[in-house]
Amino acid sequence: MTTTKKLIIKLACATVLGTAGVAVTQINRPQITAQASTTSVAARSLGVDVASYQNADLSSHAQAGAQFAIVKVSEGTSYRNPKASSQISTAISNNMMPMAYHFATFSSNSSAAVAEANYAIKAAQAFGLPKGSYIACDYETGQGNNIYGGKTPTANAIIAFMDTIKAAGYQPLLYASSSVLQNNIDTSSVIAKYPNSLWVASYAISGRIDNPNFNYFPSMDGVSIWQFTDNWRGLSVDGNVAVLPLSINGNVTSNNGAISQAPSNGNSSSTTNNSNSSSTTDDKKTDSTPTEPATSGYVMKKAYIYNKKGERQSGYYAAYYGIQYYGSTVTLDNGKTALKVGDDRYVMASNVLGNSRVMRRNAYIYNHAGKRANWRVLRKGTPVKTYGSRFNINGKSYYRIGKGLYVKTANF
């Protein structure tokens, strides 16, 4: 979203919401031209959100497969995105459905929320956003926005913003991280008035993800769009997927009261095995268990194989190796949480699903050599998925948070 947005590396079905998380293979795919209508997209359609630090021309995003674009139009009551007009027009000319978002600075003040909504409406109109389009309230920390004003006052202010958007003939959405939606907003009151109006940010790992894996969709009601990465297909742009069909002429708030809950397994967007992964011993091949649902995942730290008693068996899975496991997590006789990978064969769940930990302070991300991996900073209070036990790099302790990416354990 903005340069101040938090890096979200948590998926529900994670510890705060449940279990889960998966590293997704970086697959180079041929570019395709999106075939979406400019007025509607189907469920599971992919899209991007952009601001002034992205290209003014969104042709390359359409060629990469984006079927909708959510453009930042405004912030507070004094900023408009200078590239918004071009981003909206090139989205339309490339057969992408346009939407908009406004970065909120009203905290929990309902009067200020109405003023910002009116400002966003005027900006969207000036930039050529079609009437009846979606306009989202981007609610997160940054630019003086205080997210700690209380769940109810905050929800009331957000609803005031959304009411104003709707009254002007647009469809309101609420964008926030899964953590903010759970901990800082009375989200139930928002979706009670505007069902299926949530646009949730929830990332499996830091780094490139090409396609969403719905086995690890955040377990939340009322979601219409899921932002699953901040580096979609290597374009350094946020990647999103429509959980429900979206339409400029339709109304996201009238889905017959249905909740938007993705299936827990078995979908076309799930990951595939990484052909570039390190090899394991021959013992990695296990007997399948067809009577239980299979889920694709990735081993994020070398995983030894155990039996139900918790006794170590021969063989292991190397880090970043694609596997299938069966059913949900199980507790071994020694009390450890594991995943079944074959007949009486298990791996530790933390090596695949990870553990959700909350940052106690701002932290940099490092590579396997202990050098800064990228420009990102994980902000205090952000939930982060870590995999396996600690690593020692140059005498310092780290947790792995993604493929070749680490954070110092002292920051948790």
Hey, is 187 helix, strand or coil?
Answer: helix
- From 344, 240, 353, 343, select the one nearest 296 (Cα to Cα): 353
Measured distance CA(246)–CA(135) in Å, rounded: 12
Token pair belonging to 294: 């299979």
Distances 31 to 34, 187, 220, 246, 273 between C-alpha atoms, Å = 9, 38, 32, 24, 21
CB 1 within 8 Å of CB 175: yes
Identify the residue whose tokens are 């969207």. Answer: 124
Measured distance CA(214)–CA(212) in Å, rounded: 6
Task: Give the H or E element holding residue 212.
Answer: none
Distances 384 to 12, 100, 234, 328, 411 between C-alpha atoms, Å = 11, 28, 21, 21, 11
49 labelled catalytic: yes
How many CB atoms sit inside 10 A of residue 340's CB?
20
287 labelled catalytic: no
Which member of 75, 140, 210, 230 is catalytic? Answer: 140
Tell me which residues are annotated as active site.
49, 140
